[in-house]
Structure 1
């Protein structure tokens, strides 16, 4: 028996999220429905996601063969362009059946390595923006060639270079290595966002990171800052509480470097809590509103949702411990 929920024509008066009538708060009426899951009735107020470049929007929304191929393999393109790796025990049992899905077992973690690869190792992730950049696309394709269109990959790379603050920071590191005699450069990716909690403008490379000449051994990272050195340090896990956790990996969801959740986002009009929780943040982000486009990312969007769910559950466990 087919169940019809009707039209998604109910709109939150606070944040503009769209709902079906059956999603209204239990205590509200069909005449005056209210909804709280999106923004807690106006208490959560986040800036809209920065609009992606036209080329990426076309890949997300058009129906031609190029756009369809991109969306089918979007997780591969994102992985080749991401600055961090995605680690999880992915369940592929149902990947070839029915509608697209993404399932994991256990924890999810994002890892980042040193600025340069160790001798004899091939560059990966963020290192690809620094090391042997004359062969950058070839180096990416050497990692993953299956179902990846080199022209699309090149166009995405050209699109991201001038707009993504993280990529620009890694490229500044490349320039230092190429123009100076030093082989020791350190980078700190900041976790503190308390200086500008209501920032609506596009973040710049100086907002999110700092570069320093030297081996970095005299640097004391604050809180959850990410300290990257030229060679030393090995792989390090990005804290799920770091605002760069999302944009460092989901480069095609946040091409302009939109911050993810962090612990200093203010919650309005509440006497019990003063900061937005992870659950509130992602509940707000995942709602459907006019002008939204992130849902068009399909399989990458599915991975993003699973990633955030796992992150929320892990932090709950950490709190209980």
Structure 2
């Protein structure tokens, strides 16, 4: 059998800068300046570049930055889970791991995300977004305990957890949003407080600066009506089960993967121009 080796990709789209192999060009004939369409449809799709990550995250992502960076890279999924605002949901197949082979995670149907209440109920320990609001004096310890089993806690560096917490507090609009709710609870006993994450806004943050907190959130006090408009996410005070959030909400991905979206950036949204 003859093996074809194209080498490393060496061509760049002249419109968006995406890297390709020469063989991926749109034209079948040889050209001095090959054209590519798998990226931006030959200039029809114009997406702004990602923002540079915060300095602390950039430092952790450098392979030559010592033991702390190595620890972060080895446990990156755990660190992300500690700061996720939502939890993953779906029908998990628990019968597949009935032998002696490697562990297999299999989910049937659609994957979705759920969000809980603002405060834990009764003696329940805080989890997910509650960790941004409840008992924040012991937040680092609470996050480690809520996201790891006892046999894995030794691999987690509390200094990294503290650094990530401070980084998100400074930069992440979602973290700032839930900290606002925390401040309201500290000011007084506000029962029936709701937090609404707004799906539709006037500005397109892909083209402008990051949104302000007032564009992202509304704090609703003593309103028991179901003020659900479109796909807004309404987080209750207490006494409700976790709710499924719409996969079409702008913050759907940012809430589950805060370390991939350290600023709380918008993900997919409806009516994006072609």
How much does 1:7 deviate?
A: 2.9
Tell me, yes or no, if the aligned pair for 2:205 and 2:266 is still in contact at 8 Å.
no
Pair 1:75–1:103, CA change in 2 (3 A): farther
The aligned residue for residue 191 of structure 2 is 183
Name the counterpart of 2:120. 117
User: Is contact 1:49-1:258 (8 Å) kept?
Assistant: no
1:62 aligns with 2:57: no
Q: Residue 269 of structure 2 corresponds to which residue in structure 1?
A: 262
CA distance in 1, matches of 2:89, 2:4: 38
> Following TM superposition, by how much is the alpha carbon of 1:105 offset from its aligned partner in structure 2, in angstroms?
5.0
In angstroms, what is the RMSD of aligned CA positions? 2.6
For the residue of structure 2 that corresponds to 1:57, the secondary structure is: helix
Seen in structure 2, the aligned counterparts of structure 1 residues 133 and 6 have a Cα distance that, compared at 3 Å, is same
Q: Which residue pairs with 1:199 in the alignment?
A: 207
Q: CA deviation at 1:220?
A: 1.9
Deviation at 1:103, TM superposition (A): 7.3
**What is the CA-CA distance between 1:108 and the residue it aligns to?**
1.4
Q: Which runs of 5+ in 2 are unaligned?
A: none
Size of the aligned set, in residue pairs, is 262
| Structure 1: runs of 5+ lacking an equivalent | 268-321
C-alpha separation in 2, matches of 1:28 and 1:153: 54
Alpha-carbon distance between aligned partners in 1 of 2:29 and 2:217, rounded to the nearest angstrom: 46
Match of 2:49 in 1: 48
Once the two structures are superposed, the pairs formed by residues 65-80 of structure 1 within 5 Å of their partners are 65-80=67-82
- Would you say the 8 A contact 1:203–1:256 is kept in 2? no
The answer as to whether partners of 1:28 and 1:34 remain within 8 angstroms in 2 is no
Instruction: For residues 264-297 of structure 1, give each alpha carbon's deviation from its aligned partner in whole angstroms, at most 9, with x where no partner exists.
Output: 2111xxxxxxxxxxxxxxxxxxxxxxxxxxxxxx
Q: Comparing 161-170 with 26-35, which one deviates more in the overlay?
A: 26-35
> Could you tell me which of 227, 230, 252 is aligned with 2:234?
227
Aligned-pair distance for 1:74?
0.5
**Residue 50 of structure 1: how far off its partner (Å):** 2.1
Which protein, 1 or 2, shows the higher relative CO under an 8 Å CA cutoff with sep ≥ 6? 1
Q: Quick check: 1:135 aligned with 2:138? A: yes
CA 1:234 to 1:26, structure 2 compared with 1: closer, same or farther past 3 Å? farther
Equivalent-residue separation in structure 2 for 1:183 and 1:233 (angstroms) = 14
Aligned match of 1:21 = 22
2:87 is the alignment partner of 1:85: yes
Q: How many Å apart are 1:200 and its aligned residue?
A: 2.8
| Structure 2 residue matching 1:162: 3-state secondary structure | helix
Alpha-carbon distance in structure 2 between the residues aligned to 1:221 and 1:28: 55
Given that 2:119 and 2:134 are in contact with CA atoms closer than 8 Å, whether structure 1 keeps it comes out as yes
Q: Which of 235, 247, 257 is the matching residue for 2:254?
A: 247
Change (3 A) 1:5 1:103: farther
Q: Give the match's secondary structure for 1:159.
A: helix
The answer for the alignment partner of 1:163 in structure 2 is 171
Please identify the structure whose Cα radius of gyration is greater. 2
The aligned counterpart of 2:217 is 209
